Chain A
Amino acid sequence: MKFNRLESTCIPLPMENVDTDQIIPARFLKATTREGFGENLFRDWRFDNADQAIPDFILNNPQYGGQVLVAGKNFGCGSSREHAAWALVDYGFRVIISSFFADIFRHNALNNSLLPIQVEADFLDTLFQVIERDARSVVEIDLPAQTLSVIGQDLRTDFEIDGYKKECLLNGYDDIDYLLQRGEAVRHFEQHKAYVF
């Protein structure tokens, strides 16, 4: 999936340390395909034991919608399960904004064209306030320019992304396409490595 520019309303989740066990609980990891995990995204926060929607949870609040999740610091910590990224994508998210991402999650997101945007803590706080004031606030994400702005407001920031990963997202390439072209270098490495095992 390619990614270029996106305009969308946001869903705020101002909690810190949202771990992958919350994003997709282990008992839903039994599927052998990548599809369908969105149904169980944030399962235990979204639904009670009787499978009834919990009205307090933000995804069940009809005021909020969109393809951008705005989350508290250290989003995606815990397990390496890529199912967390698949669940977010399957649910419809294209971008996650936070002041901090757990490493493995960030990789998993990028490998699924889900763009993790890391912003300053102050910017994140302001963005939460903007969304809280008006759930219809729209953000614009411009990947080529690496900017994130709130439309109609004087709120804007640049964001970092690895140049290689940016190229992949813009063109819809993945790492394997790149690595498969390195076969000769790998054979050379194997013949000259410093160790015997």
Chain B
Amino acid sequence: MQGAAPKTLFDKVWDHHIVQARAGYPDVLYIDRHFIHEVTSPQAFDGLRRRGIGVARPQQTIATADHNVPTQNQHLPIAEPLSRFQVDTLQKNCREFGVELFGLGHEKQGIVHVIGPELGISLPGMTIVCGDSHTSTHGALGAIAFGIGTSQVEQVLATQTLLAARPKTMKIEINGPLGKGVLSKDLILFIISQITTSGATGHFVEYCGSTIRQLSMEARMTICNMSIEMGARGGLIAPDDITFEYLRGKAYVPQGADWEASVRWWKGLASDPGATFDTEYRFDAADIEPMITYGTNPGMGVGVRQHIPRPSGSHHAELDKALHYMGLQEREALLGQKIDYVFIGSCTNSRIEDLRLVANFVKNKHKAPHVNAWIVPGSQAVEQQARAEGLDRIFAEAGFDLRQPGCSACLAMNEDKVPAGKYCVSTSNRNFEGRQGPGARTFLASPLTAAAAAVTGSISDVRDFL
């Protein structure tokens, strides 16, 4: 590629997927993998029926049931009739249109953004879409992965392509080692608190720097997962040896010579030196502490030892409304706030490394008596692995409730809801009003900070225990 202008990772992957580029029109982008679930797909299948067409490339779409499923007694029929109908509809649609389904009870079932990487269905250099905004998670592998609406789900089912305008690019570089007790969740909550919830709108983010390079694949997924919370279309990280080692031997990855050829191709995808981005940020990992949110969007976060800030000017009304909802005051300390629930789960933090961290922390400890502590693994595989490692016994002894895989209290579509007015420290990605149930009050945090809160019964600095 001598003489060619330096290109970003994002632009390389995008350019490899252009079916047609026409002036004045969005690009026709080829989609390698399409994930669907029960909530955002039924209307898309109806659309196909109305048009009298089938799924263009059924083997490139994979379905799972996750948003709406119960996390207890999954062997029984779903009790809630509307949820059952939605899950049944997915099954019926998949059968009719020839799409593979990892349904409830299937050994490969789980939250869509957990199973894609876990099975090696999501790969570097791919375009990956799903009717769910946290599709950005798969970007950790070096893929262009983003959420779409149901009309676009129908587009992909019908044509295996998507009409998409090329977004702007943003580089976020983080350097240096993370401090004691600071996880990649803290890193991304910190970045969002700096950039704000709309700061990356219209952009696709590449995360880079020495901090990112040292993170495990699962820790990188947590970061890419929350790209959408600063308004970005998605986030991605250049694939490296950590990526290849993570994928090697997984069920769906290319085999033999195809694997070797793929690794060679993937290695060439990194942003070229001198490639330019529309926007650039740089952070120092040493500035990052364990984080906690205090408001009703993920940008309202601070270090766990800090106080709720007093904002200036026009942001006052928004903060007043948020604090009123949360039952908190400006300038109040967060440390020591009593909590009622702890939710460890969601596509942000429900992978085996998250469960190991929590188990390691709560071993020989017990949750505070007034706290309900839920652990919801991201997939059947994560649950099996946790049991195989004996984590289930540690959780049981510590008084934690290990449940079955699903989105659960991340969006409270099933019965896992935080009651109105109650406080929950949650490892999920959104603290919007009512997200964890009508009136529920959410503090977003890392799995370690959540575990510490479960043990003390209040917001705590996990570093005090390390």
Contact = CB atoms under 8 A, between A and B. Distances in A.
Contacts of A33: 42-43, 46
Interface in A24-79: 25-27, 29-34, 44, 49, 73-74, 77-79
Nearest to A177: B51
A183 B53 CA distance: 13
A155 interface: no
Give the one of A19, A22, A103, A162 with max B CB within 10 A: A103
B132 interface: yes
Nearest to A164: B25
Interface stretch (A1-9, A134-142, A188-196): A188-196
B161 A179 contact: yes
B297 A19 contact: yes
A189 B21 CA distance: 12
Interface in B403-460: 411-413, 420, 430, 432-435, 438-439
Interface residues of A, number: 55
Contacts of B154: 176
Interface in A150-168: 162-164
A103 B149 contact: no
B287 interface: no
Interface range on chain B (Cβ under 8 Å from partner): 35 or more
A156 to B, nearest CB: 24
A185 B28 CA distance: 10
B220 interface: no
A147 interface: no
A31 B25 CA distance: 33
Interface in B31-71: 32, 39-40, 42-43, 46-47, 51, 53, 56, 67-68
Main secondary structure of the interface of A (DSSP, over half): loop
Interface stretch (B106-114, B196-204, B274-282): B196-204
Per CB-CB distance, the 3 closest pairs between chain A and chain B, nearest first, are A32-B42, A82-B149, A111-B151
Interface of B: 16, 19-20, 24-26, 28, 30, 32, 39-40, 42-43, 46-47, 51, 53, 56, 67-68, 82-83, 85-86, 89, 123, 125-126, 131-133, 135, 147-152, 154-155, 158-161, 163, 165, 167, 197-198, 201-202, 231, 233, 254, 258, 261-262, 265, 297, 317-318, 321, 411-413, 420, 430, 432-435, 438-439
29 contacts: A17-B197, A21-B411, A21-B434, A27-B412, A30-B83, A32-B43, A44-B434, A74-B231, A79-B132, A80-B131, A80-B135, A80-B148, A80-B149, A82-B40, A82-B43, A85-B149, A100-B201, A103-B202, A103-B231, A107-B149, A108-B150, A162-B26, A164-B163, A174-B151, A175-B155, A176-B47, A176-B51, A176-B154, A180-B159
Given A77-B231, A80-B148, A175-B155, 17 more contacts: A21-B411, A21-B434, A29-B67, A30-B68, A30-B413, A32-B46, A33-B43, A80-B132, A81-B40, A82-B151, A176-B51, A176-B154, A179-B163, A185-B19, A185-B20, A186-B160, A197-B123
